[in-house]
Amino acid sequence: MTKIIGLTGGIGSGKTTVAHYFQELGIPIYIADDEARILMESKAVLNAIRTTFGDAAFDGFILNRQKLAAIVFNDAQKLAALNAIVHPAVRQHFEAWLLEHKEDSFVIYEAAILFESGNYKNCDCVITVTAPVEARILRVITRDNTTREAVLKRMTMQWSDAERIAKSDFVIQNTSLKTTKSKIVKILNFLKIKQN
């Protein structure tokens, strides 16, 4: 039976980079945030977003993600309401994707809010990726063309590294690509030995 390796970390920690290295090693990866973005364009999800948040999140018939982000990242209850729409759609999509990979020994399920959503309960083990806070902030500012304040606000909406680490089976300190890749290989070898 396919083992699900949960992969998480705070914004800017480099978890997607880690996921892609697992992919290079032959492990299928499911990037939940990417799939959520795609699923948010589906008619059912768009209708639910409009019903919940009204026209403020839209430009006519088109979802304006920046407007939606401004609404939800300032209000924990509104963020929870959005997650209640998107997470079930992602979960259903992942289950269908998992069936396509039932011959694989392992798959990676990468999600920023793996613990907050409760999806960690569906994983056989969890890896948390960490990085120094300043490095994370700079990565996100560069990647998203955003402000320091906006990044810090998003960080406060997520669990802390300490909270994630306390519930994780493995931790990758993502400070250099060489040591990160070495740690990934060690984790994968350990999991393969454990499975045999």
Which amino acid type is present at position 182? Answer: S
13 labelled binding-site residue: yes
Shared domain for 194 and 118, answered yes or no, is yes
Over residues 73-115, the pLDDT tens digits come to 878 899 889 999 999 999 999 999 999 999 999 999 999 989 9
Q: Residue 82 maps to which CATH number?
A: 3.40.50.300
Shared domain for 96 and 113, answered yes or no, is no
175 labelled binding-site residue: no
Domain C-terminal end among 75, 100, 125: 100
Shared domain for 114 and 174, answered yes or no, is yes
Shared domain for 130 and 153, answered yes or no, is yes
Over residues 21-80, the pLDDT tens digits come to 999 999 999 999 999 999 999 999 999 999 999 999 999 989 999 899 889 887 889 988
15 labelled binding-site residue: yes
14 labelled binding-site residue: yes
16 labelled binding-site residue: yes
Domain C-terminal end among 48, 70, 100: 100
Expressed as residue numbers, the domain containing 69 is 35-100
Nearest to 71 by CA among 49, 46, 89, 93: 49
Over residues 121-167, the pLDDT tens digits come to 999 999 999 999 999 999 999 998 999 998 998 898 889 999 999 99
194 labelled binding-site residue: no
The total of structural domains in the chain comes to: 2
Domain C-terminal end among 100, 119, 146: 100
User: Is 111 in contact with 117 (CB distance < 8 Å)?
Assistant: yes
